[in-house]
């Protein structure tokens, strides 16, 4: 098979567990140098898909290429280039953070010297240097999550599969995660992140693939999602003036109890126009901002369409 330039590509991927159809039909493309978000509700098949991409599970049908390799027929070669961070982070509780990384490095056939150096680098990268020699069971959930990320990076993979990496992370660590992921993407890695916390993906992802009941229901870039029609929230010093102006201007809006209003707008330009009009009409506008992230809105809209 030909190397199609790395990244992740799937076509018509299907996988059932007995009578449960976890993944029915997934089309996905994640390009090198970009962060792709895998979005979908619980049970939509995200984890199953990632297991197939990581080479742990065979698809019942369909085609998968990770870093240009088929994880089924060329599993080991593919695994050498894949970093996988599972959602349920099982860890060897009695080992220290450093030992965990050394073990994984040895499992990737790195020499002891390289492994030791790599462990130091990665512990520093995920800010666990101070806890390097503490047993893993004293680590908090967020710290374990960071250790899990370091573990996925041990062999410097080209493709990163991160299953809910931000769950359990404090805000500080989330920011770090975002910067790290962006930096890895800038270095040319392909990154696929699954999550159902969409606001955090907004700032991280370039592209998004929406899964629902095991199917790809939409693939788009995050910028496109932002440019789509979505809800904006407008707030004014005087809710009454705002409501009056909205009514006279004939703008369909939903006025909340706190006096702010939700308006459906087609992208940023429509927002600029609305703000200009409101200010021109002497409405004391305080703020106008998208109500929720672009992905979140795209996702919710998708759910509505499906009903």
Partner 1 sequence: MSIETDRGTEVPPSGATPQKVPASDWSLSWQGVRTVAQLELRQRVRSTRWKIALVVWFVAVGLITLLTSGAVTMIFDDPSMGADGAGRTMFGVVVFFVLFLGLLVAPALTAPAINGDRSAGTLATLQATLLTPAEIVVGKLLAAWLAALAFLAASVPFIVWAFAVGGLPFWSLVSVLLMLGIVLGIVCAIGLGFSTLTAKTSGSAVLTYLTVGGLSVLTLVLFGLSVPLVTTTEQVRTWDVPVDYDWEDTEPPECEWRIQTQEVFHSERTWWLLAANPFVIVADAQPLAGTEEFENAADPLTLIQYGVRYARTGPAAEQDWCGDMWFSNGGDLTADPPVEEQQPSQSLVWPWGLGIYVMLGAGGIVTAVRRLRIPVHRLPKGTRVA
What mask of x and - would describe binding to partner 1 in positions 6 to 45, judged by CB under 8 A? -----------x----------------------------
Q: How far is it, in rounded angstroms, from Cα 101 to Cα 116?
A: 9
- Residue 54 or 225 with smaller CB distance to partner 1: 54
* Total number of residues that touch partner 1 (CB under 8 A): 59
Q: Applying CB under 8 A, which part among 148-156, 193-201, 224-232, 294-302 lies near partner 1?
A: 148-156
Q: How far is it, in rounded angstroms, from Cα 86 to Cα 183?
A: 21
Pick from 34, 46, 79, 144 the residue near partner 1 by CB under 8 A.
79
For residue 245, the minimal CB distance to partner 1 (Å) is 38
Note whether 169 and 89 are within 8 A (CB): no
For residue 105, the minimal CB distance to partner 1 (Å) is 8
DSSP string, 152-216: HHTT--SEEEEESTTTT--HHHHHHHHHHHHHHHHTT-EEEEEES-HHHHHTT-SEEEEEETTEE
Q: How far is it, in rounded angstroms, from Cα 151 to Cα 118?
A: 10
Say if strands 215-221 and 207-212 run parallel, antiparallel, or are unpaired.
antiparallel
Of 32, 36, 16, which is closest to residue 24 (Cα–Cα)?
Answer: 16
What mask of x and - would describe binding to partner 1 in positions 105 to 144, judged by CB under 8 A? -xxxxxx-xxx-xx--xx-xx-x-------x---------
What mask of x and - would describe binding to partner 1 in positions 44 to 63, judged by CB under 8 A? -------xx-xxxxx-----
- Residue 90 or 250 with smaller CB distance to partner 1: 90
- Residue 86 or 214 with smaller CB distance to partner 1: 86
**DSSP type of residue 6:** S
- Greatest Cα pair distance, the chain, in angstroms, is 74
Binding site for partner 1 (CB under 8 A): 17, 51-52, 54-58, 71-72, 75-77, 79-80, 82, 84, 86-95, 99, 103-104, 106-111, 113-115, 117-118, 121-122, 124-125, 127, 135, 151, 153-156, 175-176, 179-180, 183-184, 187
């Amino acid at each position: 098979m030909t190397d199609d330039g790395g990244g992740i590509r799937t076509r018509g991927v299907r996988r059932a567990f007995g009578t449960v159809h976890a993944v029915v039909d997934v089309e996905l493309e994640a390009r090198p140098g970009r962060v792709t978000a895998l979005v979908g509700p619980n049970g939509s098949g995200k984890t199953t898909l990632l297991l197939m991409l990581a080479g742990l599970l065979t698809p019942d049908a369909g085609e998968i290429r990770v870093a240009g390799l088929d994880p089924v027929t060329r599993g080991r070669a593919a695994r050498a280039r894949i970093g996988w961070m599972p959602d349920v982070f099982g860890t060897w509780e009695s080992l220290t953070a450093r030992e965990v990384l050394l073990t994984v490095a040895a499992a990737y056939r790195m020499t002891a010297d390289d492994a030791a150096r790599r462990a130091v680098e990665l512990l520093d990268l995920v800010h666990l240097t101070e806890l390097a020699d503490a047993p893993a069971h004293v680590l908090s959930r967020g710290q374990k999550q960071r250790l899990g990320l370091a573990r996925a990076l041990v062999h410097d993979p080209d493709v990163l599969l991160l299953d809910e990496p931000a769950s359990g992370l404090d805000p500080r660590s989330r920011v770090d995660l975002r910067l790290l992921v962006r930096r890895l993407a800038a270095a040319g890695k392909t990154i696929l992140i699954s999550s159902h916390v969409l606001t955090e993906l907004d700032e991280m992802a370039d592209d998004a693939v929406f899964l629902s009941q095991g199917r790809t229901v939409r693939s788009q870039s995050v910028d496109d999602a932002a440019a789509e029609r979505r809800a904006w929230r407008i707030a004014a010093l005087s809710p009454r003036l705002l409501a009056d102006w909205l009514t006279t201007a004939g703008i369909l809006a939903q006025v909340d109890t706190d006096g702010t209003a939700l308006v459906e707008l087609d992208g940023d330009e429509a927002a600029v126009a609305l703000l200009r009009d409101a200010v021109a009409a002497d409405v004391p506008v305080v703020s106008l901002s998208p109500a929720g992230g672009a992905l979140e809105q795209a996702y919710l809209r998708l759910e509505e369409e499906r009903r």
